[in-house]
């Protein structure tokens, strides 16, 4: 597997595409700014949401049990899975009982985390991803590169070619309207035929035992309402205490994600449809471990809006696939090492620690601080990437020694051009700023 | 030990933090017409509706999920529209089938009531009054191909809202 910096190298090889990716995501970030600034209460609402999540995490066990008993009373089957393998086995068991060979699934990062599609394929079950972006990347045998905009790494020419190969659209047609219509027709067939539908969960309400699923396309609903069996898969951290809390979260989610006022559909599944079977799978997979660590527990507040992706200068210019994880970007970089430290040791270093992620996060997760904590933990565990280890030790040493700091600084200003070499991946595709002739201290002394 | 007990046992009690209560201080002066327009809905009078969609289908319990796929224009009743974002609250009881507002080609919703924001909306919805309910804001849409907005992804291709005073 390529590390983040190696994979980024491939991504930025196409300079024009990198610029497009960068600018497009920045545009989404700008839409988020506009949609949030309309509300004078925005900052108060972020704080409120953060407190609701703090409160929930402090009482997670009780809220999970409250949710469970309400959901059961509503006629929903509740399952618990300690890890990905258990999760996949539960889902497979439900599908196998139906005897289905093809099923539909709407967007769920959790099923990506569990590699559910591959697992079901090995059992002879085909999963049709129904979110347009996810269907595109599925056809191409790729993973989503962004949790809200799964195909943001692709251009319309790529989608046109993919649909030409898989759906028989005319070669060379790259009109988004035309291609979306082709996908609509193709997926409608699957919606009407499928007996089992899998969806993700945005929020699960302890007070009522209902769960809420948000989409713009309507694909989660098309699948769930036509299928005999609906399986909703969720992480245990998606619980919120009360129905009224949804007001805060639904207001924050879409405005943070895409700058929309609200997602087109926010569906509240309270009880199964008459004659329908409804299941919910509650997954741990390392979340309880994260919860037990005061440094990292806040990462469980995430509502998966991807605002931190869109604002991140590293994500925008390296692309989602360079993070080699289903959840990329800044939040992915603090979640992934918890699941596998060694395999994801590069990710906390894929950041400038500029703090922009923490500034936009609707639930006020201290993302950049956690990135820094992970760097320290990984250093201690001897897992940090080699180049970074030397750099970090040098930095700690320099900052602790004022004399070396000053002398080093003056040397650096004279010889900074030497840094811009092949040895330092940071300078790929970057111009080194010209170093000032005198340091701030020198300048200040002269005044 | 079952996965359930394993998980619950692993959840360490953390220092207690109070729930902050209901959110206070939300803006209320939103123009529902502007919001409906932003989410891509059209507003029509009853008279205009007769001219544009004379052959539309009304709520009809005999329509099942699959036969709804054949319906061109469906008219249903919503409970209220939220002025801040143009979302309309719909419940299963007011639809022939849960899939109705998604599977028809064009959707018409009658609304009698307007609430200012989502907090006011959930005041109305304190107790779930329905097995299934949703906020619907405009027609189905996607921007998954190069961020170009396309209306009519999987759900209805258009939404028309009729406000009844
Ligand atoms: S960490 Fe915050 S900004 Fe990033 S996806 Fe989660 S909620 Fe959104």
Contact B130 A58 (CB under 8 A): no
For chain B positions 25-44, those within 8 Å of chain A (CB to CB) are 25-27, 35, 38-39
φ, ψ for residue B63, nearest 5 deg: -75, 125
Sheet strand arrangement including B57-58: B42-44, B158-163, B106-111, B73-77, B57-58
Q: How far apart are CA A164 and CA A167, in angstroms?
A: 6
Are the C-beta atoms of residues B53 and B160 closer than 8 Å to each other?
Answer: yes
Tens-place pLDDT, residues A328-372: 999 999 999 999 999 999 999 999 999 999 999 999 999 999 999
- A45: part of which helix (H) or strand (E)? helix A42-58
Residue A245 C-alpha, separation from nearest chain B C-alpha, in angstroms: 7
Ranking A123-137, A269-283, B117-131 by mean pLDDT, the lowest is B117-131
- Number of helices (H), then strands (E), belonging to chain A: the values are 21, 10
Helix orientation angle between A176-193 and A219-226, rounded to the nearest 10 degrees: 20
- Given a cut of 80, whether residue A437 has pLDDT beyond it is no
- Given a cut of 90, whether residue A406 has pLDDT beyond it is no
Q: What is the mean pLDDT of chain A?
A: 92
B19 within some domain = no
Q: How far apart are CA A138 and CA A127, in angstroms?
A: 10
B42 within some domain = yes
Tens-place pLDDT, residues A138-190: 999 999 999 999 999 999 999 999 999 999 999 999 999 999 999 999 999 99
- Given a cut of 60, whether residue A271 has pLDDT beyond it is yes
- Host domain of residue A405: 401-446
A132 within some domain = yes
ipTM of the predicted structure?
0.97
* Predicted local confidence at residue B78, as pLDDT: 97
pLDDT average, residue stretch A230-257: 98
- Given a cut of 60, whether residue A432 has pLDDT beyond it is no
Based on the fold, state whether residues A272 and A324 are members of the same structural domain: no
Based on the fold, state whether residues A151 and A95 are members of the same structural domain: yes
**Residue among A33, A290, A361, A366 whose CB has most ligand 1 atoms within 8 A, to mutate:** A361
* Predicted local confidence at residue A410, as pLDDT: 65
Q: Ligand 1: residues within 6 Å at CB?
A: A 302-308, 331, 360-363, 365, 367
For chain B positions 7-26, those within 8 Å of chain A (CB to CB) are 7-8, 10-20, 22-23, 25-26
Contact A261 B137 (CB under 8 A): yes
A87 within some domain = yes
Q: How far apart are CA A150 and CA A147, in angstroms?
A: 6
- Given a cut of 80, whether residue A415 has pLDDT beyond it is no
Q: How far apart are CA A357 and CA A308, in angstroms?
A: 4
Query: Digits of tens for pLDDT over chain B (165 positions)?
Result: 899 999 999 998 888 999 999 999 999 999 999 999 999 999 999 999 999 999 999 877 777 777 888 899 999 999 999 999 999 999 998 888 999 999 999 999 999 999 999 999 999 998 777 999 999 999 999 999 999 999 999 999 999 999 998
A265 SS3 class:
strand
Residue A17: which of A148, A154, A137, A149 has the closest Cα? A154
* Predicted local confidence at residue B58, as pLDDT: 86
A396 within some domain = no
What is the CATH number for B36? 3.40.50.10420
B21 within some domain = no
Residue of A nearest to B6 (CA): A82
Residue of B nearest to A86 (CA): B3
* Predicted local confidence at residue B162, as pLDDT: 98
Alpha helices in A210-306 (DSSP H): 219-226, 245-257, 287-292
Q: How far apart are CA A325 and CA A145, in angstroms?
A: 9
* Angle CA B144–A103–A105, to nearest 5: 35
What's the gap between Cα A122 and its chain centre?
A: 26
pLDDT average, residue stretch A219-231: 97
Based on the fold, state whether residues A253 and A352 are members of the same structural domain: no
Are the C-beta atoms of residues B7 and A80 closer than 8 Å to each other?
Answer: yes
A397 SS3 class:
helix
pLDDT average, residue stretch A90-99: 98
Tens-place pLDDT, residues B15-40: 899 999 999 999 999 999 999 999 99
- A229: part of which helix (H) or strand (E)? strand A229-235
Structure tokens at A47: 């704080």
Q: Positive or negative CA dihedral for A14, A18, A19, A21?
A: positive
pLDDT average, residue stretch A232-247: 98
Distances (CA, A) of A164 to A147, A345, A437, B91: 25, 39, 58, 40
B23 within some domain = no
Based on the fold, state whether residues A31 and A87 are members of the same structural domain: yes
Q: What percent of chain A has pLDDT over 90?
A: 84
Q: How confident is the model at residue A68 (pLDDT cuts 50, 70, 90)?
A: very high
Based on the fold, state whether residues A21 and A141 are members of the same structural domain: yes
- Given a cut of 60, whether residue A394 has pLDDT beyond it is no
B1 within some domain = no
- Given a cut of 70, whether residue A296 has pLDDT beyond it is yes
pLDDT average, residue stretch A319-336: 96
Q: How far apart are CA A139 and CA A288, in angstroms?
A: 35
* Predicted local confidence at residue B12, as pLDDT: 80
pTM over 0.90: yes
A393 within some domain = no
Based on the fold, state whether residues A362 and A279 are members of the same structural domain: no
Ranking A168-182, A255-269, A412-426 by mean pLDDT, the lowest is A412-426
Residue A51: which of A309, A362, A372, A373 has the closest Cα? A362
Residues with Cβ within 8 Å of residue A175, at least 6 apart in sequence: A156, A160
Distances (CA, A) of A199 to A10, A42, A202, A216, A278: 33, 30, 10, 14, 11
Contact A64 B146 (CB under 8 A): no
Based on the fold, state whether residues A150 and A272 are members of the same structural domain: yes
Based on the fold, state whether residues A427 and A356 are members of the same structural domain: no
- Given a cut of 80, whether residue A35 has pLDDT beyond it is yes
B41 within some domain = yes
Task: State the DSSP string of A110-151.
Answer: HHHHTTHHHHHHHTT-EEEE-SHHHHHHHHTT---SSSSSTT
Give distance in angstroms: CA of A91 to centre of ligand 1: 27
Based on the fold, state whether residues A100 and A248 are members of the same structural domain: yes
Work out how many domains chain B is built from and give that number: 1
Q: How far apart are CA B36 and CA B162, in angstroms?
A: 11
Give distance in angstroms: CA of A433 to centre of ligand 1: 31
Based on the fold, state whether residues A110 and A207 are members of the same structural domain: yes
Phi-psi region at B64: left, alpha or beta (left = phi > 0; alpha = psi -120 to 50): beta
Give distance in angstroms: CA of A255 to centre of ligand 1: 12
Task: State the DSSP string of chain B.
Answer: --HHHHHHHH-PPPPP-----S---------HHHHHHHTT-EEE-HHHHHHH-TTPEE--TT--HHHHTT-SEEEEE-SEEETTT--EEEEGGGSSSTTHHHHSSEEEEEE--EESSHHHHHHHTSS--SSEEEEE-SS-EE-TTTT--EE-SSS-SEEEEEE--
* Predicted local confidence at residue A403, as pLDDT: 66
* Predicted local confidence at residue B129, as pLDDT: 75
Q: How far apart are CA B115 and CA B103, in angstroms?
A: 27
Helix orientation angle between A42-58 and A245-257, rounded to the nearest 10 degrees: 120
Based on the fold, state whether residues A227 and A312 are members of the same structural domain: no
Residue A387 C-alpha, separation from nearest chain B C-alpha, in angstroms: 36
Based on the fold, state whether residues A77 and A162 are members of the same structural domain: yes
* Predicted local confidence at residue A433, as pLDDT: 59
Domain boundary among A254, A288, A322: A288
CA A329 to ligand 1: nearest atom: 4
pLDDT average, residue stretch A37-46: 97
- Host domain of residue B145: 30-163
Q: How confident is the model at residue A393 (pLDDT cuts 50, 70, 90)?
A: low
Structure tokens at B140: 């189905």
* Predicted local confidence at residue B67, as pLDDT: 83
Alpha helices in A227-385 (DSSP H): 245-257, 287-292, 307-311, 313-318, 329-339, 356-360, 367-380
Residue of B nearest to A292 (CA): B12
* Predicted local confidence at residue A328, as pLDDT: 96
């Amino acid at each position: 597997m390529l590390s983040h910096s190696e994979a980024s190298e491939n991504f930025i090889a196409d300079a024009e595409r990198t610029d497009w990716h960068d600018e497009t995501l920045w545009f989404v970030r700008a839409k988020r700014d506009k949609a949030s600034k309309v509300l004078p209460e925005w900052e108060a609402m972020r704080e409120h949401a953060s407190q609701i999540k703090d409160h929930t995490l402090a009482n997670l066990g009780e809220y999970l049990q409250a949710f469970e008993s309400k959901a059961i009373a509503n006629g929903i089957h509740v399952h618990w899975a300690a890890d990905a393998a258990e999760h996949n086995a539960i889902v497979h068991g439900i599908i196998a009982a139906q005897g289905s060979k093809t099923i539909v699934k709407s967007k769920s990062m959790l099923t990506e985390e569990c590699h559910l599609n591959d697992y079901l394929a090995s059992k002879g079950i085909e999963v049709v991803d129904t979110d347009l972006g996810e269907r595109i990347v599925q056809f191409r045998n790729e993973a989503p590169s962004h949790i809200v905009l799964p195909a943001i790494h692709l251009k319309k020419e790529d989608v046109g070619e993919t649909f030409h190969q898989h759906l028989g659209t005319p070669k060379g047609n790259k009109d988004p309207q035309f291609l979306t219509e082709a996908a609509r027709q193709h997926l409608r067939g699957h919606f009407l035929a499928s007996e089992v539908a899998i969806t993700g969960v945005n929020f699960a309400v302890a007070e009522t035992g209902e769960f809420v699923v948000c989409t713009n396309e309507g694909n989660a609903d098309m699948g769930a309402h036509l299928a005999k069996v609906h399986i909703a898969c969720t992480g245990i951290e998606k619980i919120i205490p009360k129905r009224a809390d949804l007001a805060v979260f639904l207001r924050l989610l879409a405005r943070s994600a895409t700058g929309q006022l609200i997602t087109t559909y926010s569906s509240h599944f309270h009880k199964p449809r008459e004659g329908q079977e409804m299941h919910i799978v509650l997954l741990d997979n390392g979340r309880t471990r994260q919860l037990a660590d005061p440094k990292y527990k806040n990462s469980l507040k995430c509502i998966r809006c991807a605002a931190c992706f869109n604002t991140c200068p590293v994500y925008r210019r390296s692309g989602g696939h360079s993070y080699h994880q289903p959840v990329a970007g800044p939040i992915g970089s603090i979640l992934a090492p918890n699941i596998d430290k060694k395999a994801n040791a590069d990710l906390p270093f894929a950041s400038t620690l500029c703090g922009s992620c923490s500034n936009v996060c609707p639930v006020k997760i201290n993302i950049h601080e956690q990135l820094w904590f992970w760097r320290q933990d990984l250093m201690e565990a001897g897992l940090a990437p080699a180049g970074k280890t030397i750099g970090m030790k040098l930095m700690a040493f320099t900052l602790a020694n004022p004399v070396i700091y000053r002398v080093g600084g003056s040397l650096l200003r004279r010889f900074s051009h030497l840094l811009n070499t092949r040895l330092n991946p940071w300078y790929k595709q970057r111009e080194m700023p010209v170093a000032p002739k005198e340091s701030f201290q020198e300048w200040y002394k002269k005044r | 030990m079952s996965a359930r007990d394993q998980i619950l046992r692993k959840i360490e009690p953390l220092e207690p933090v109070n729930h902050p209560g209901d959110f206070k201080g939300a803006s209320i002066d939103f123009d529902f017409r502007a919001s409906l327009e932003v989410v891509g809905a059209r507003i029509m009078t009853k008279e205009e509706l007769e001219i544009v969609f004379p052959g539309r289908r009304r709520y009809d319990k005999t329509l099942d999920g699959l036969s709804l796929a054949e319906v061109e224009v469906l008219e249903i009743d919503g409970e209220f529209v939220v002025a801040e974002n143009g979302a309309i609250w719909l419940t299963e009881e007011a639809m022939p089938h849960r899939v109705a507002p998604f599977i028809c080609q064009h959707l018409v919703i009658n609304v009698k009531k307007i609430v200012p924001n989502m907090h006011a909306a959930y005041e109305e919805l304190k107790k779930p009054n329905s097995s299934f309910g949703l906020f619907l804001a405009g027609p189905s849409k996607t921007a998954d191909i190069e961020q170009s907005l396309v209306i009519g992804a999987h759900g209805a291709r258009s939404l028309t809202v009729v406000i009844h005073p």
